[in-house]
Structure 1
Amino acid sequence: MTTMKEIAHRAGVSVSTVSLVLNNRDEGRVNADTAANVRAIAKAMGYRPNPLARSLRTSRTRIIGFVSEEIATTPYAGGIVLGAQDAASELGYMMITVNTDGRANEERQLAALKRYGVDGFLYAKMSNRVTTAPGGIAGYPTVIVDAVDGSGGIPSIAPDETRIGYDATRHLIDAGCRRIAYVGCAEPMLAEGLRLEGYRSALRDAGIEPDDDLAIRVWFNQPALDAVSRLFDERHPDGFFCFNDARAWYVYECAARRGLVVGRDVSVVGVDNHRVIAETFAPQLTTVELPHYEMGYWSVCRLVSLIEDRPLDDVTPPRTTAPLPPFDADGPVSIHCTLIEKDSVAHHAAA
């Protein structure tokens, strides 16, 4: 294991200087070039701080609590947890993940995490919504993930839902579509209204007046298939923006029943980049990828910036599909989601 003494010897500085730099207390005390050199040498030598020793010096455990009631039941949780774990590991933190199933269980889990001495909390939801952090984490640095704090006082990150609808619809418009349908979600969700708003805004910006008869909201199974079928027969759309990839299946099915080819006769854009769906459809589905990994990574970085009261200027963000917002951003943060172009959109000259 590389020690501060070895780094000091290689850098030609004192051990106390190395300690100041590696504990991020060098500002105003150590020459900037010297600090940069120490960090470069520490990285090259594979230095890893001793968590126990650091916790004794700083009264921090370098443990983060990740709390959600849906981790065990939601397929997208893996991306958020993976991004959070990667960031925690790079920043020298350990993350304990707990799944709750109701308020009483949540309070027990929070109490257990506090007994471990966590430095802060991530409070995650697995679909964008307005939420309230539990009272049990009051006073702790906290970041809300894939949701917005109802009180407005806790930093949060969520997808830019309006931009999702706008970008997906704009992509269809740019491909030459003019009768663009929206296959939405009948469940009352925050994302539903915002994606519909983005859809309508993109149409208006292109000089196309939104037609309410082209926008439907469906659940699943036969009723959804029947609703999309009526949309085909009564309104004859040439493009479809679907609330998610799962609802795009009904468009593929209805097109096939009518002898139409997706990607040639009709165009389809979904949301999620759900691998089981988007990559197994034929043709593969053009879709807007939700930034689960990015939200997890950013949330840990934002939390650590709160815990350590510093901007994390020394952290180099990983290459991600969606660009990461600044780690010191205040208030609710929206992340711009990336459209993944595949084969389900036919490109025709605009009329």
Structure 2
Amino acid sequence: MTTMKEIAERTGVSVSSVSLVLNGRDAGRVKPSIAKKVRDVADALGYKPNPLARSLRTSRTRILGFVSEEIATTPFAGGIILGAQDAASAAGYMMITVNVDGLTDEPEEIAALKRYGVDGFLYAKMSNRITDVPEGLAEYPTVLVDATDRAGRVPSVTPDEVGIGYDATKRLIDAGCTRIAYVGCSEPMVAQRLRFEGYRRALEESGLPFDDRLTTNVMFHRPAQDAVDRLIGEQRPDGVFCWNDARALYVYQAAMKLDLTVGEDLSVVGVDNHRLIAETLVPELTTVELPHYEMGYWATRKVISMIEDRVPSADELPHTTAPLPPLDGPVETRVRCTLIDKDSVAR
């Protein structure tokens, strides 16, 4: 096993300088050229930090607890966990994930993670919502993922829902659509309210009138299809913004019944970039990708910054579909999502 002493001998610097560099505390203390040399030599020699020795020295375990509601068992949102794991690994941390879905006792799961000596927590919800932070997390650095603290005290990261509605609608406006319908969700969800707000804002800024007859909020199955059929058949919009990709399926079906060609007679934009839908529909669906990976990655970097009382280096951030927000932003951080342009919008 390569030691810091060996790296110091190879680079001609002190062991303390090597320690600062390899523990990410070199900013302002070690010249950048020397720090780079130390990292290059450490990589070449295959240096791996000793987590046990580090935990004894710092009184930290470098273990994070990830408490998820259904996310761990839902492939669609699994990108949150993947992003969190990648960020933890890049910073030399491990992550233990527990799933709470109503069948398990959340306080007991949190207590179990505490017994492992975790340094901080990520608390994630299945869909964007306002939530109460469990009392058991009060004394620990904690970041909410895809949720917002009702009390407004705990840092959180969510998609920019208003931006989703605005960008999707603006894409349809830019394509020349003037009668833009909205197919939303009939449940009172945060995303429904805010995406609809973005839809109306885009119409208003572009000088297009809002027409309540061009909106319908649905759930699933035959009632949803019937409602969308009526909307498309009676109101004849030339563009449709759908709350998610699943609802775009109803729009495609309605268009087919009326012998309308999606991407020519009717432009459609969804949300999720759900691969089984967006890439299977013909034509492929223009959609807004939710930033699951980005939220997980950002939240982990945020909680580590709270644990270590410093901002982690941004030198080697991964390539992401949506840009990662700064860590020193507002308590409620939102990730601006990326529109994936395909063939369902007229050109």
Could you tell me which amino acid in structure 2 is paired with residue 88 of structure 1? A
In structure 1, the residue matched to 2:283 is: 283
In structure 2, the residue matched to 1:345 is: 345
Query: Structure 1, residues 202-225: CA drift from partner, whole Å, max 9, x if none?
Result: 111111011111111111111111
1:43 positional shift: 3.7
On the 8 A contact 1:76/1:126 being kept in 2, the answer is no
List aligned pairs for 1:67-78, cutoff 5 A.
Answer: 67-78=67-78
Asked if 1:243 is matched to 2:243, the reply is yes
1:74 positional shift: 3.0
In structure 1, the residue matched to 2:62 is: 62
1:24 positional shift: 3.3
Asked if 1:24 is matched to 2:24, the reply is yes
In structure 1, the residue matched to 2:152 is: 152
- Secondary structure at the counterpart of residue 18 of structure 1: helix
On the 8 A contact 1:10/1:41 being kept in 2, the answer is yes
In structure 2, the residue matched to 1:170 is: 170
- Secondary structure at the counterpart of residue 125 of structure 1: strand
On the 8 A contact 1:305/1:328 being kept in 2, the answer is no
Could you tell me which amino acid in structure 1 is paired with residue 164 of structure 2? I
Q: Percent identity?
A: 67
- Secondary structure at the counterpart of residue 98 of structure 1: strand
Long gaps (5+) in structure 2: none
Distance 2:73 2:28 in 1: 49
Residues 275-284 or 28-37, more deviating: 28-37
In structure 2, the residue matched to 1:49 is: 49
- Secondary structure at the counterpart of residue 342 of structure 1: coil
Compared CA separation, residues 315 and 141, structure 1 to 2 (3 A): farther
- Secondary structure at the counterpart of residue 334 of structure 1: strand
Could you tell me which amino acid in structure 2 is paired with residue 180 of structure 1? I
- Secondary structure at the counterpart of residue 128 of structure 1: strand
Query: Structure 1, residues 225-256: CA drift from partner, whole Å, max 9, x if none?
Result: 11111111221101000000000000000101
1:314 positional shift: 4.8
Could you tell me which amino acid in structure 2 is paired with residue 79 of structure 1? G
List aligned pairs for 1:89-238, cutoff 5 A.
Answer: 89-102=89-102, 105-238=105-238
Residues 311-320 or 90-99, more deviating: 311-320
Distance 2:151 2:329 in 1: 17
Compared CA separation, residues 179 and 101, structure 1 to 2 (3 A): same
Compared CA separation, residues 332 and 251, structure 1 to 2 (3 A): same
Long gaps (5+) in structure 1: none
- Secondary structure at the counterpart of residue 305 of structure 1: helix
Asked if 1:83 is matched to 2:83, the reply is yes
Query: Structure 1, residues 84-143: CA drift from partner, whole Å, max 9, x if none?
Result: 111111111110000013397000100100000000000001211111110011110000
Query: Structure 1, residues 175-200: CA drift from partner, whole Å, max 9, x if none?
Result: 11110000000011001010001001
In structure 2, the residue matched to 1:264 is: 264
In structure 2, the residue matched to 1:273 is: 273
Distance 1:37 1:328 in 2: 29
Could you tell me which amino acid in structure 2 is paired with residue 254 of structure 1? A
Query: Structure 1, residues 11-46: CA drift from partner, whole Å, max 9, x if none?
Result: 111112211222234455444443343234334443
Compared CA separation, residues 25 and 90, structure 1 to 2 (3 A): closer
Using the size of structure 2 for normalisation, the TM-score is 0.96
Distance 2:140 2:117 in 1: 11
Distance 1:228 1:104 in 2: 39
On the 8 A contact 1:312/1:327 being kept in 2, the answer is no
Could you tell me which amino acid in structure 1 is paired with residue 193 of structure 2? G
On the 8 A contact 2:5/2:15 being kept in 1, the answer is yes
Distance 1:208 1:29 in 2: 57
Query: Structure 1, residues 154-188: CA drift from partner, whole Å, max 9, x if none?
Result: 11100000000000000001011110000000011
Compared CA separation, residues 306 and 167, structure 1 to 2 (3 A): same
On the 8 A contact 2:163/2:198 being kept in 1, the answer is yes
1:5 positional shift: 1.6
1:78 positional shift: 1.1
1:346 positional shift: 1.0
Residues 314-323 or 253-262, more deviating: 314-323
Distance 1:55 1:80 in 2: 27
Could you tell me which amino acid in structure 2 is paired with residue 123 of structure 1? Y
On the 8 A contact 2:72/2:81 being kept in 1, the answer is no
Query: Structure 1, residues 54-89: CA drift from partner, whole Å, max 9, x if none?
Result: 001001111000001212443333110111111111
Compared CA separation, residues 22 and 147, structure 1 to 2 (3 A): same
Distance 1:314 1:222 in 2: 49
- Number of aligned residue pairs: 347
Distance 1:102 1:79 in 2: 22
On the 8 A contact 2:69/2:101 being kept in 1, the answer is yes
1:264 positional shift: 1.3
Could you tell me which amino acid in structure 2 is paired with residue 50 of structure 1? N
